[in-house]
């Protein structure tokens, strides 16, 4: 079992390359492709925090996306490298909030996203309270969760 000290990454970053089949006729990445990258990065962070698919499945729960808002200042193009960063932005009674930033290879933020997630019971499909699911990372939640991108 991981110690609470080893579960301490408040944010997670992954790098992706835009391939030819991920752009439109204007050579701009499709939004679903960018969302896929964000989900993959969130998956890695959730696994690190022991809140991933396998962890919730053991509890007979699963994650469901409830809300998503993506804002892009510019779109990456074929061959571009982008860095996706994600972090927990807050929790409520039923929702976990996760934010994202997308940066180009020079570190300029070219897009942001905000998402709200529910935990549902695998059998009855009813929403579950978030607090008990997050109890093992309470030490991270005691600090103010950053609504803005953490350093």
Q: What pLDDT, in 10s, does the model give residues 119-128? A: 999 999 999 9
CATH of the domain at 46: 3.10.129.10
Domain that holds residue 60: 11-140
Please write the tens of the pLDDT for every residue from 92-107: 889 999 999 999 999 9
Question: Is residue 1 one of the residues assigned to a domain?
Answer: no
For residues 11 and 2, give the distance between their C-alpha atoms in angstroms, rounded to a whole number.
Answer: 18
Question: Is residue 6 one of the residues assigned to a domain?
Answer: no
Question: Is residue 2 one of the residues assigned to a domain?
Answer: no
Please write the tens of the pLDDT for every residue from 123-143: 999 999 988 888 888 777 665
Q: Write 126-131 long-range contacts (CB < 8 A, 24+).
A: 127/94, 128/61, 128/94, 129/93, 129/94, 130/91, 130/92, 130/93, 130/94, 130/95, 130/96, 131/91, 131/93
Question: Is residue 90 one of the residues assigned to a domain?
Answer: yes
Query: What's the pLDDT score for residue 141?
Result: 66
Burial of 126 per CB tally in 10 Å (0-12, 13-18, 19+): exposed
Percent of the chain with pLDDT over 70: 87
Q: What is the CA radius of gyration of the chain?
A: 16
Query: What's the pLDDT score for residue 5?
Result: 45
Specify the 3-state DSSP secondary structure of 11.
strand
Helix, strand, coil proportions of the chain in percent (round to 5)? 25, 35, 35
Low-confidence residues of the chain, pLDDT below 70?
Answer: 1-7, 141-151
State the total domains in the chain: 1
Could you tell me the pTM of the whole model? 0.86
């Amino acid at each position: 079992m991981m110690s609470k000290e080893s579960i301490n990454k408040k944010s997670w970053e992954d790098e992706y390359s835009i391939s030819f089949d991920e752009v439109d006729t204007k050579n701009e990445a499709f939004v679903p492709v960018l969302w896929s990258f964000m989900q993959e990065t969130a998956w890695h962070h959730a696994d690190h925090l022991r809140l991933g698919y396998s962890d919730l499945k053991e509890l007979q729960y699963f994650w469901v996306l409830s809300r998503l808002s993506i804002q892009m200042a510019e779109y990456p193009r074929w061959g571009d490298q982008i860095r996706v960063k994600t972090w927990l932005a807050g929790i409520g009674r039923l929702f976990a909030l996760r934010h994202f930033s997308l940066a180009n290879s020079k570190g300029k933020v070219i897009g942001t996203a905000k998402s709200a997630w529910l935990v549902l019971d695998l059998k009855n499909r009813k929403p579950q309270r978030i607090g008990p699911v997050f109890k093992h990372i309470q030490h991270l939640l005691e600090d103010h969760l950053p609504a803005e991108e953490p350093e």
